[in-house]
């Protein structure tokens, strides 16, 4: 059986150490690529049909609205995954409003994860999962959810050892 690394990552303005910075590659994507390299896993980018805004404040407004209304925005079309091919699934995301972005909820809705080992990872400014792991447990009934790996966005490029330990 194979390993899948499914992730959502935002490119554009981001908050790092209370300052707005522009990311050409999202923090979560950096971690996902390292995990794929370490596990020889397949990468799957979770993409929203209507892209999240580039500007930090605009993205935050949309994320808050989606969270408050429990929206599950449409994902960009493309090839569907065959979950039967995978026994371990890493699921990565930034933390927005103490949980994963709603497009990740859309991804979780689309597949049956029963019997899979789920290894969540997240990036954010605080380095915590917020309520996302609790929410994930409700969405992924029948899956075995491992302890997660939370990395502060400013630390993703120097977290190789933590990522390696998590992949083992």
Cβ contact 116:41 at 8 Å: no
Q: Does 8 score more than 90 pLDDT?
A: yes
Q: What is the pLDDT of residue 165?
A: 96
Domain boundaries, the chain: 2-167
Q: Average the pLDDT over each of 63-72, 100-109, 128-137, 142-151 and give the range with the smallest value.
A: 128-137
pTM of the model: 0.94
Kindly calculate the radius of gyration of the chain based on its CA atoms and give it in whole angstroms: 15
Whole-angstrom distance, CA of residue 91 vs CA of residue 28 = 10
54-66 confidence digits (pLDDT tens): 999 999 999 999 9
Rounded CA-CA distance 145/53 in Å is: 31
Dist. CA 130–CA 19, nearest whole Å: 21
Q: Per-residue pLDDT for 127 more than 80?
A: no
Read off the tokens for 60: 């935050």
Q: What is the mean pLDDT of residues 67-82?
A: 89
Query: Quick one: average pLDDT of 27-45?
Result: 97
Return the CATH fold of 2-167. Answer: Rossmann fold (3.40.50)
Residue 102 structure tokens = 């709603």
The pLDDT score that the predictor gives to residue 103 is 96
User: 36 Cβ partners below 8 Å, 6+ apart?
Assistant: 5, 42, 43
Cβ 46 vs Cβ 76: under 8 Å: no
């Amino acid at each position: 059986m194979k390993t899948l690394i499914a992730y959502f990552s935002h490119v554009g303005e981001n908050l790092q150490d209370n300052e707005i910075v522009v990311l050409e590659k999202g923090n979560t994507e950096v971690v996902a690529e390292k995990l794929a390299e370490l596990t020889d896993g397949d990468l799957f980018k979770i993409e929203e049909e209507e892209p999240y805004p580039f500007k930090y404040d605009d993205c935050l407004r949309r994320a808050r609205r989606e969270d408050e209304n429990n929206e599950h925005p449409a994902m960009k079309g493309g090839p569907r995954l065959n979950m039967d091919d995978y026994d371990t699934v890493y699921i990565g995301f930034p933390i927005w409003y103490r949980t994963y972005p709603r497009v990740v909820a859309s991804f979780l809705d689309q597949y049956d994860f029963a019997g899979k080992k789920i290894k969540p990872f997240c990036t954010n400014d605080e380095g915590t999962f917020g309520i996302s792991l609790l929410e994930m447990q409700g969405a992924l009934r029948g899956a075995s959810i491992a302890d997660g790996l939370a990395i502060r966005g400013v630390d993703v490029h120097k977290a190789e050892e933590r990522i390696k330990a998590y992949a083992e």
